Each structure stands twice: as C-alpha cells, then as structure tokens.
Amino acid sequence: MMLSEWMSMVKEGLKYSYAPYSGVKVSALAITPEGRVYRGVNVENASLGLTVCAERVAIFNAVSNGERRIKTIVITSNLDKPIYPCGACLQVMSEFGVEEVIIVHGNEVIRHSLKELFPRPFSDWRS
C-alpha cells in the first residue's frame, strides 16, 4: 500500500470513532513490516479513565489477529491541528517495535521516528 491509501483509510476511520464526551475523533492504522494494516479508533467511556486511544486499539487489533510486530502507526483526528500520541500509546508502540509515526492532518503529512517522539521508554527491569 502507498501513503495515499493509508491516508484515505485512516481518514475513513474517523466515522467509526466513539467520542460522545469530548467530540474528539481519532483514527489510527497499525501497519506490520509485511504491510498488513489494522485500524483502530478512540473509544470513550463515561468514566473517562476507561477511554482507549485509537493507536492502542489499532495495535491491540493487530495483536488480536496474531501480529507481534508493528512497523508504522498512522494517525489522524478531527481537530484543527495535528494530533500526537500520548505517553501510554508511545510506550505500547515501543513494546511492539514501531519505527515510524505518521501524523495526517488534512493533506499534510508529518513523519517522526518513534525514538524522536519517545527517546527513553520504560524497559523491562528484569532483563
């Protein structure tokens, strides 16, 4: 798949977002090294601490389908400015080997390495 296809897919996902409390709709794609694509959207809850971000939903979707490595995350939102992943999402991305985060804002594409966004992830203290 090409970047233009990912942009269309991630934007289409906004219609599936469940955001009745904040109104902030977020859609994400988790893309494996082999090019398989898994979508996720944010899912809010009246108990806001139970809300799950789109990036983690996409990764969990991939893991639920047998994946163990994610290469790229693509995200977009309905906000009037680019949206960036939260710390919890960055930590989960680190766990599954994400290398690149692509932020789509309208027709603008912003690319970051995960190391740039999250230089010092929590690591397994047992190793």
Length of the chain: 127
**The 26-31 sheet, strands edge to edge:** 37-41, 26-31, 72-77, 100-105, 108-113
From the candidates 12, 44, 55, 67, which is the catalytic residue?
55
Distance CA 2, CA 22 (A): 32
Distance CA 52, CA 56 (A): 7
**Residue 55 bears catalytic tag:** yes
User: Catalytic amino acids?
Assistant: 55
